[in-house]
Amino acid sequence: MPDPRFFDRLGPFALREVASVAEAALTADANSDQQFEDVAPLGTAGPKHISFLDNPKYLGAFRKTQAGACFVSPDHAKQVPKGCIAIITPTPYRAFARAAGMYYPLGQLIDMPSGGNPIDPTARLGRDCTIGAGTVIGPNVEIGESTRIGPNVFIERGVVIGRDCIIHDSVTVSHALIGDRVELHSGVRIGQDGFGFAQDPPGYVSVPQLGRVIIGDDVKIGANTTVDRGAGPDTRIGDHCRIDNLVQIAHNVELGRGCVLAAQVGISGSTKIGDYVVMGGQVGIAGHLSVASGVTLAGKSGVTHDLREPGAYGGFPAIPIREWRTQVVRLRRLTKKREMNDG
């Protein structure tokens, strides 16, 4: 279940209410008065939780789910496991998004310190912390010893920051657990909700992003870089990672230990990066991929498929760098030859 340090849950709600907000249908035999306490993925949901099946690749998990109720399309309604109530809708992901929004409404996202103080009285600051002017620290924040925070920073409720960190000015941190000796440069944004939504014509409905950002020890993050919190799982940045300016790390991304990301790199959602992976500037990596430990990506390369072997890669789509260099040379030669032939 979502970390209560960061998320307040409303409810419980009766199945009838949930189905109504989600614009989904109950079968005649469903107990529409039954109360549900939370939403959860198929794999972790329990009897008091509502889940969903959208992508048929999760049919296996669906058949074994402990969820008490589940949004499903009419096609799959009959396959609902025993003890689980089918809530029927042609758009299960959208229905789930709406139901999740009942339990975790988006409007709660900015929790200010109480009583007009810049630092909430429930925040716990370690010995020898320094806090700059204009910095706002929300409820239940914990900051370790000797951590220094510049001016005009916003640390939102429940965030934990370790010791001997340097948080420069104008940084935002929410929904995050941060290790020791971490440095966040000016303008870094950690923990905002990622790019998660379902089609809900004429627009979209946001899927509440219920994960966190977990940052290890000895990590440095460059100016104006953004790290979204997880959608349900967490976004993770391993110990000793070095991330340059203007980098984008999407929700659920995992970086192993000691990765080095040069400026303007972008990593799309749910991609897993191994240890000591090095990326040149402006590299882009598509979502839901794996990149093996020890991979090096030349600047501006674009990764569109898993990279399972360590080594150097380049180009777009990224291929082994030696092959890419050959391609560049040959393409140029080929073009010139044909120019002569045509000329």
Q: Which residues does the annotation mark as catalytic? A: 251
By CB under 8 A, residue 220 contacts a copy of itself: yes
**Composition of the chain by helix, strand, coil, percent to 5:** 20, 30, 55
Indicate whether 145 belongs to the interface with a copy of itself (CB under 8 A).
Answer: no
Per CB under 8 A, 166 contacts a copy of itself: yes
Contact with a copy of itself (CB under 8 A) among 56, 83, 90, 151: 151
Angstrom distances, CA of residue 311 to CA of 66, 152, 239, 261, 328: 43, 42, 22, 16, 19
Site for a copy of itself in 223-242 (CB under 8 A): 223-224, 226, 228, 239-240, 242
Element (H, E) at 63: helix 59-64
Tell me how far apart the alpha carbons of residues 20 and 30 are, in angstroms, rounded to a whole number. Answer: 14
Position among 43, 187, 233, 294 found at the interface with a copy of itself (CB under 8 A)? 187
Is residue 225 within 8 Å of residue 248, measured between CB atoms? yes
Query: Does position 58 bind a copy of itself by CB under 8 A?
Result: no
Backbone φ and ψ of 25, nearest 5°:
-110, 145
Nearer to a copy of itself, 49 or 181 (CB): 181
116 scored as a contact of a copy of itself (CB under 8 A): yes
**Contact assessment for residue 208 and residue 50, using Cβ atoms and an 8 Å cutoff:** no
316 in contact with a copy of itself (CB under 8 A): yes
Does the protein bind a copy of itself through residue 124 (CB under 8 A)? no
DSSP letters for 280-296? -TT-EE-TT-EE-TTEE
Q: Which of 218, 233, 293, 312 binds a copy of itself (CB under 8 A)?
A: 218
Answer for which of 148, 272, 296, 310 binds a copy of itself (CB under 8 A) is 148
Contacts of 179 (CB under 8 A, 6+ apart): 162, 215, 216, 217, 218, 219, 239
Q: Which of 20, 186, 293, 296 binds a copy of itself (CB under 8 A)?
A: 186
Whether cis (ω within 30° of 0) applies to the bond prior to 151 is: no
Among 77, 312, 319, 321, indicate the residue that binds a copy of itself (CB under 8 A). 319
Alpha carbon distance 166, 237 (integer Å): 17
Q: Which is nearer to a copy of itself, 27 or 114 (by Cβ)?
A: 114
Site for a copy of itself in 249-308 (CB under 8 A): 250, 257-258, 260, 262-264, 266, 268, 280-282, 284, 286, 299-300, 302, 304
Among residues 41, 179, 222, 230, the one that binds a copy of itself under rule CB under 8 A? 222
Q: Give 119's strand partners.
A: 137
Nearer to a copy of itself, 16 or 148 (CB): 148
